[in-house]
């Protein structure tokens, strides 16, 4: 599996986690408002997101060698990002 694919999996995981948080928030708001059917709908959606999150985490966990490659890629990416930001800031100060 390539670094590109791992990045997609991590992005999908992040999106699923954000959706889960939103669904739980909406469920609680619906419960507070006395809308039990809507609360049940959001609870079901939250459960579905939890299942998707578990599947994605399992896929990423089964790739320990690729995870090392991803960590190296992230280190290089962070280094490049920091230096690129510094270069832009230095240019603006001139």
Percentage of the chain lying above the pLDDT 70 cut: 65
pLDDT band at 40 (very low <50, low <70, confident <90, very high): very high
Write out the residue range of the structural domain in which residue 76 sits: 3-93
Domain total of the chain: 1
Question: 70 exposed, middle or buried (CB, 10 Å; 0-12, 13-18, 19+)?
Answer: buried
Confidence of residue 5 (pLDDT cuts 50, 70, 90): confident
Mean pLDDT of 4-24: 90
Is 90 exceeded by the pLDDT of residue 49? yes
């Amino acid at each position: 599996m390539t670094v590109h694919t791992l990045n997609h999996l991590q992005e999908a995981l992040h999106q699923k986690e954000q959706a889960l948080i939103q669904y739980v928030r909406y469920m609680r708001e619906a419960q507070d408002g006395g809308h039990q059917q809507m609360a049940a709908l959001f609870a079901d959606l939250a459960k579905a997101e939890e299942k998707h999150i578990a599947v994605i985490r399992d896929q990423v966990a089964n790739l320990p060698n690729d995870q090392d490659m991803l960590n190296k890629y992230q280190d290089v990416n962070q280094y490049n990002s920091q230096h690129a930001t510094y270069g832009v800031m230095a240019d603006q100060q001139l």
